[in-house]
Structure 1
Amino acid sequence: MSAENAVNAGRAAQARRRGLRTIDLRRLGRAALLGTGGGRDRVPDAIEHLIKVHRTRHPEVRADAVETLRRAYLLAESSHRGQTRKSGEPYITHPLAVTLILAELGAETTTLTASLLHDTVEDTEVTLDQVGLGFGEEVRYLVDGVTKLEKVDYGAAAEPETFRKMLVATGSDVRVMSIKLADRLHNMRTLGVMRPEKQARIAGVTRDVLIPLAERLGVQALKTELEDLVFAILHPEEHARTRAMIEADALAAEDPLGAVAADVRTVLREAGIAAEVAIRPRHAVSVHRVWLKRGGAPLGGCDFGRILVLVAEDADCYAVLGELHTCFTPVIAEFKDFIAAPKFNLYQSLHTAVADNGGRIAEILVRTRKMHRVAEAGVIALGDPHEVAEQPQAADGERVDPTQAGWLARLLEWQRAAPDPDTFWSALRDDLAQDREITVVTQQGGDASGTLRLPAGASCVDAAYAVHGEAGHACVGVRVNGRLAPLGTKLRDGDTLQLLMDDSASSGPDPDWLEHAATPAARIAIARWLTQHPADPVEDGSERPAQAPALRPAPALDAARTGEPVAVADLPGAMVRLARCCTPVPPDRVTGFAIRGGAVAVHRVECPTAVRMIATGRGTVPVRWSDGTPAGGYRATVLAEALSRPRLLADLTEAIAAQGVGIVSAAVEPPQEHRVRHTYTVELPDRHALTALMRAMRSVPGVYDVYRAKPAMASARP
């Protein structure tokens, strides 16, 4: 007996022993080879199995639906006739196998019809208009959504632009991506006829894009097989080792997991709980992950699968959990309640692990049969997304649209802002690499206004752009869980967030925001603004990003006050610039340095930049204050020490604005023992305004000190 036959025999024996019914999606493709016999008035032999599976999943299927599938198959078969796959098989075997996969997962008639026709427009003379006339606009839309863009038109951008097109179409109808996932699964199954380098390229895209999409759409049956196929191509040695472990367990005489499952059946039967108990073997990648988690130690029999308990109602799930935790020893760290808090991909289940009297630890999944159907098929199990009656309902009675989940809504938003295919492609992979989401409660004023789903690792900067789009530029501060926090703060699941926005702002993001942004939407918006406002040279010869405009417009200056420069250098004809690193204002002691372009940069004498340049032998230029006022006003950096309280940031900015002073930038440090420090770079209308400004800031309740920034602090960020 060959090794493969031995594995199959062992697996079958194990399944019989455990009373497990498994669905092997690989066998579905074989029906495509049955031929195309059949008269004009009967269902062709090749789709008899498809119709049978469809009726099993949807007993209400009517004769007109069967007729639609028959016509779709005949059109596909005739249009693809004469075409072959690289394996030598008739091409029609591919769309038929894809459709059988979807039928087994419970897809409805419209999806199956489009699946049979999904390659006709791309590879034959059939047009989208013909599809629409023959099968309706929904089928036309789905076929169009999965039709690839031509390389002759798009070149190297064809693949990313095709995915962009599919994602946009998925935003209106999730069935587009369902067909694409099934299409990729069948192609991955038959990838062995391709060159090794092409196999690796396709497997890489499948790993980076298709598998995360299958996870987000909840289609676990497709995701797990895709993972194993990619694993075998990209990591053949690890895959072979894992398969050897699975085969050894399948042929083992002992069945510890089956013994625990039998005990579970007994416990639930004695408790009077009607439940179906089965064993879910782990797929290869799952076993590999367990092996890594165990640090490479040998795996026990209970590590190769999990016990699945299926019941009728939600309440029964918790009844089962109570019995399990009463009659066995629970492993509390392994308990997760995805019924009360479903995953973002619709998944619901109770997860727990228990130890029996022999010390064997088994993982157990508890769910209703409906939950199980959704866990396996995800959005495919929900049928037509336009049929309100078939969709889950929110607590307020509104329909929950799975195609507008947080991750997809974010993706559709930022993709519009990524016209460059390379930017879109890399951003798409980065976005999909986030394997989980967090939920943040957003507030408007003091009241909760909604929830925001963000990828794990997202910061307050990401939240600003997720809520306000490109208007996120106007975010001037945040409160996390009621306390002021830096914009770079990483958010955690369940945090309460209040974004402090200045709607009158014309400011742009600080370059540091790029370091804090984790989502493509935020990064693309920030990068575009920085590109549109290129860096300018600073006084010490280095490059720095251009300063953002004032958060509040500075007051207009009289023409008489913009006649002459504010500082005069003893260098005839030289332009004079006030250094931004130390923001000197009269009557500060200052010195000057010649910089590129014949200008003179004016620094405070204690400025670390000035001290460093003098220490390296840089010559100075004598400068003195004049009686004029610069056209842009004076810039200064002031700090306010205060007791942390609500509305402190708003009250301080209002006090500054009331003095006719423009805010160039603002930063809030994390509170320390109920104290907080605000840093403002401001633009003063004249040399006398600084004293009045600091006095006004000290009058704000809770503020106990206001002072000029020390040069070392001002130079911490050039």
Structure 2
Amino acid sequence: MSAEATAPSGRRGHRRDVLRLRQLGRAAIFGTAVGNRLPDALEHVAQAHRRHHPGAELDILRRAYLLAESAHRGQTRKSGEPYITHPLAVTLILAELGAETTTLTASLLHDTVEDTEVTLDQVGTAFGDEVRHLVDGVTKLEKVDYGAAAEPETFRKMLVATGSDVRVMSIKLADRLHNMRTLGVMRPEKQARIARVTRDVLIPLAERLGVQTLKTELEDLVFAVLHPEDHSRAQELIREHAERPDPLAAVADAVREVLREAGIGAEVHIRPRHVLSVHRARRKRGQLDPCDYGRLLILVGEDADCYAVLGELHTCFTPVVSEFKDFVAAPKFNLYQSLHTAFLDEAGRLAEVLVRTHRMHRVAETGVVALGDPHRSADGEPTADDAERVDPTRPGWLSRLLEWQRQEPDPDTFWSSLRDELASDREITVFAERADEGTLHLPLGATCVDAAYARHGQAAHTCLGARVNGRLAPLRTVLRDGDTLRLLLAPDGSSGPSPDWLDHATTPAARIAIRRWLDERTPEAEGEPERPAPPALPRTRGRAPDPAASGEALGAVVPDAPGASVRLARCCTPVPPDRALGFTVRGGAVTVHRESCPSAIRMVGAGRHPLPVSWRSGAVAGRVTLRAEALGRAELLADLTEVIAAQGVAVEHAEVEPPRQQRVRHTYTLRLPDASGLPGLMRAMRRVPGVYDVSRAVRTRP
């Protein structure tokens, strides 16, 4: 916003200028120094605004402009233009998209608090709390206060504000669009930096908010900065195509005739591809066909007319079935609705087609901007939630983003997680087996781990497994659109995530929660986290509580390393009376492995000196990994976990592999209160119907 602003030397230091600014501000706000005539500079904004809102009140825009002009007077952009041209241009962009008056008012003022002596309180007093909230939402944090964290923390602040009013992001997107249009005055390295942030953050946000008009222009501007040669080539292809007759014109005429004869009122337009879209099509298809430079856009009055048009197209032309998508019955996560199809005409020309109503078209082009004020009903009255600033239009992805950003205080991790979250531009819908649990909206590629944290939050730490479409599935299973899901949780505190969950988690909400749980509980060994004992567990069916959970010695004795901290390796989970070897690791600690552990064999082969290990007498708590081989059947997981709990054993981690030839494999990492009870536990597990073998296992490292 203020990246291109410059001010006269010492302006802030002169009391005279401050007093002058206050006088001008009062005149702008209360209209005491000027008449009520609309300033000439606002005419284009007013005309665009009145096209969408014929009865809009313009006096508040006049007052906002006068305050902004007086506050920014003397400031110039890098191009040498008066700075007021920037908020005017941003406001015109929003007015052309159909933004309502409050958004335009805040847009005119959006840089005043950041770059001038105007305060948020003054904005609120003069223009109301809504305008104040919007201006505050887009105001940058100062580098002098936040240093390198200023940019990520500014975006965090902006997203939080967007969570209660999506108009904040509308203003930011229009602001970035105008800055990208005028980016040529910047140094090349600064152009590239701004373009990359626009590509990684702002364009995905525009896509999610459905503001397609801004998104496509931003894409082309970023494309020109980061890939100038490819951009020039795509532009040249578009120019060459424009010099020849467009074959889609004849196809459009044929479609108009078909729809006219069917009695369907419709508009048929040719919608050209933008520059980046042409480049992507050329990379995907190689040589472009003359019909590849655009698509047919068919606009109708009612939803039912969309399907009537589709029927006529598929009847009178040859449909390409693989290209059909119905986003009318199942809208995209960003409110987008259209029917997509493609057909071949009699001349063999391929035409891609979009069919939508006029209302759908407006939402598809301008997204949340078309929704107007989210805090007021269609008749202009405040909604019940208005006082709490709860936005009823908030999409699911934004709710998820707001949830995990609260859990991640580190700005660098937040910044990288935000880019990762926005990199996925598609969502899936996952249904619960139980109707009262509702549905989950997750990014494409999400796993059962992601679903667990999306549904249960911190309680997902105790997730043991999942059932997808009625069948047991491991937590790493990638979910598909339309899947049904049941998540299986252990009692609170009886289990927790393992480090390999990080390999299966794709959403920041899951990754941040898992990493925090591991960081709070695991020291480092061999360069990786090593989980300590969990909190003490209550007695279960007469068994004693886990001694390791109360912090007692693990029972492994390493005579050649007196006083060293001793840890049991989680990969092979040694317990008495296993033959074991110790290896000195970073910090002088000793990690104990089973003698047959592949990691121990590998370290010995690499020349690492093993230390002899013995076990002290008496009851020794320990962690062990068991593998149960069984014939697949319903409730097997529940029966096994019940048997394990009956032995007074805590489940730290459970994994169920997909069935193969009606056989399943369950792997459990367990904490035993007394390692001597291991044989009895394994016998009890073998007695579970369907289980034909239980053995010790070695967990591979992620």
Q: Structure 2 length as normaliser, TM-score? A: 0.86
Cα drift, residue 303 of structure 1: 1.2
Equivalent residue number for residue 285 of structure 1: 276
Helix, strand or coil at the partner of 1:679: strand
1:549 aligns with 2:546: no
The aligned runs of 1:672-711 (5 Å cut-off) are 672-686=660-674, 688-700=676-688, 702-709=689-696
Equivalent residue number for residue 55 of structure 1: 50
Helix, strand or coil at the partner of 1:389: coil
Helix, strand or coil at the partner of 2:58: helix
> CA offsets, 1:218-247, max 9 Å, x none?
000111111111111111111111111111
1:104 aligns with 2:96: yes
1:659 aligns with 2:620: no
The aligned runs of 1:333-412 (5 Å cut-off) are 333-389=322-378, 403-412=393-402
Choose from 402, 410, 422 the match for 1:420. 410
> CA offsets, 1:548-593, max 9 Å, x none?
638966733799xx999967778797888766554455565x3555
Change (3 A) 1:624 1:133: closer
Change (3 A) 1:619 1:249: closer
The aligned runs of 1:77-88 (5 Å cut-off) are 77-88=69-80
Helix, strand or coil at the partner of 1:259: helix
- Larger mean CA deviation between 255-264 and 679-688 belongs to 679-688
1:200 aligns with 2:192: yes
Equivalent residue number for residue 260 of structure 1: 251
Task: State whether residues 509 and 548 of structure 1, in contact with CA within 8 Å, keep that contact through their aligned partners in structure 2.
Answer: no
Helix, strand or coil at the partner of 1:681: strand
Task: State whether residues 530 and 570 of structure 2, in contact with CA within 8 Å, keep that contact through their aligned partners in structure 1.
Answer: no
Distance 1:345 1:486 in 2: 31
Helix, strand or coil at the partner of 1:161: helix
Equivalent residue number for residue 6 of structure 1: none
1:135 aligns with 2:96: no
- Aligned partner letter, 1:160: P
Equivalent residue number for residue 714 of structure 1: 698
Equivalent residue number for residue 294 of structure 1: 285
The aligned runs of 1:560-571 (5 Å cut-off) are none
Cα drift, residue 423 of structure 1: 1.3
> CA offsets, 1:33-91, max 9 Å, x none?
xxxxx961222222222222212111242xxx211112112222222222222222222
Distance 1:76 1:665 in 2: 60
Cα drift, residue 533 of structure 1: 2.9
Task: State whether residues 170 and 403 of structure 1, in contact with CA within 8 Å, keep that contact through their aligned partners in structure 2.
Answer: no
Distance 1:600 1:286 in 2: 58
Cα drift, residue 191 of structure 1: 1.2
1:246 aligns with 2:233: no
- Aligned partner letter, 2:251: V
Change (3 A) 1:154 1:431: same
Task: State whether residues 591 and 620 of structure 1, in contact with CA within 8 Å, keep that contact through their aligned partners in structure 2.
Answer: no
- Aligned partner letter, 1:510: S
Task: State whether residues 638 and 706 of structure 1, in contact with CA within 8 Å, keep that contact through their aligned partners in structure 2.
Answer: no
Cα drift, residue 488 of structure 1: 1.3
Choose from 634, 657, 671 the match for 1:669. 657
Helix, strand or coil at the partner of 2:438: strand
Distance 1:598 1:384 in 2: 63
Percent of aligned pairs sharing the same letter: 69
1:44 aligns with 2:39: yes
Choose from 292, 299, 302 the match for 1:313. 302
Change (3 A) 1:104 1:354: same
Choose from 427, 432, 442 the match for 2:422. 432
Distance 1:525 1:480 in 2: 23
Helix, strand or coil at the partner of 2:351: strand
Change (3 A) 1:543 1:124: closer
Cα drift, residue 641 of structure 1: 2.5
Task: State whether residues 580 and 595 of structure 2, in contact with CA within 8 Å, keep that contact through their aligned partners in structure 1.
Answer: yes
Change (3 A) 1:619 1:184: closer
Once superposed, what is the RMSD of the aligned Cα atoms? 3.1
- Aligned partner letter, 2:338: S
The aligned runs of 1:570-581 (5 Å cut-off) are 581=571
Cα drift, residue 98 of structure 1: 1.0
Change (3 A) 1:90 1:667: same
Cα drift, residue 492 of structure 1: 1.4
Distance 1:434 1:183 in 2: 24
Choose from 181, 199, 209 the match for 2:201. 209
Change (3 A) 1:580 1:520: closer
- Larger mean CA deviation between 271-280 and 381-390 belongs to 381-390
Cα drift, residue 683 of structure 1: 3.3
Distance 1:271 1:612 in 2: 76
1:647 aligns with 2:635: yes
Change (3 A) 1:274 1:690: same
Distance 2:293 2:484 in 1: 40
Helix, strand or coil at the partner of 2:378: helix
Cα drift, residue 620 of structure 1: 7.2
Task: State whether residues 458 and 491 of structure 1, in contact with CA within 8 Å, keep that contact through their aligned partners in structure 2.
Answer: yes
Task: State whether residues 474 and 657 of structure 2, in contact with CA within 8 Å, keep that contact through their aligned partners in structure 1.
Answer: yes
Cα drift, residue 343 of structure 1: 0.6
1:269 aligns with 2:269: no
Change (3 A) 1:640 1:246: same
Distance 1:390 1:458 in 2: 40
Task: State whether residues 553 and 662 of structure 1, in contact with CA within 8 Å, keep that contact through their aligned partners in structure 2.
Answer: no
Task: State whether residues 607 and 715 of structure 1, in contact with CA within 8 Å, keep that contact through their aligned partners in structure 2.
Answer: no
- Aligned partner letter, 1:529: W
Task: State whether residues 272 and 294 of structure 2, in contact with CA within 8 Å, keep that contact through their aligned partners in structure 1.
Answer: yes
Task: State whether residues 574 and 600 of structure 1, in contact with CA within 8 Å, keep that contact through their aligned partners in structure 2.
Answer: no
Task: State whether residues 663 and 680 of structure 1, in contact with CA within 8 Å, keep that contact through their aligned partners in structure 2.
Answer: yes
Task: State whether residues 536 and 545 of structure 2, in contact with CA within 8 Å, keep that contact through their aligned partners in structure 1.
Answer: no
Change (3 A) 1:386 1:623: closer
Change (3 A) 1:460 1:251: same
Change (3 A) 1:568 1:501: closer
Task: State whether residues 633 and 690 of structure 2, in contact with CA within 8 Å, keep that contact through their aligned partners in structure 1.
Answer: no
Change (3 A) 1:654 1:265: same
Change (3 A) 1:462 1:67: same
Task: State whether residues 76 and 117 of structure 1, in contact with CA within 8 Å, keep that contact through their aligned partners in structure 2.
Answer: yes
Change (3 A) 1:551 1:337: farther
Task: State whether residues 459 and 516 of structure 1, in contact with CA within 8 Å, keep that contact through their aligned partners in structure 2.
Answer: yes
Cα drift, residue 179 of structure 1: 0.6
Equivalent residue number for residue 156 of structure 2: 164
Task: State whether residues 569 and 591 of structure 2, in contact with CA within 8 Å, keep that contact through their aligned partners in structure 1.
Answer: yes
Task: State whether residues 328 and 337 of structure 2, in contact with CA within 8 Å, keep that contact through their aligned partners in structure 1.
Answer: yes
> CA offsets, 1:576-612, max 9 Å, x none?
8766554455565x35557579998776555545656
Choose from 315, 318, 331 the match for 1:326. 315
Cα drift, residue 366 of structure 1: 0.5
Change (3 A) 1:302 1:505: same
How many aligned positions are there?
654
Distance 1:188 1:571 in 2: 67
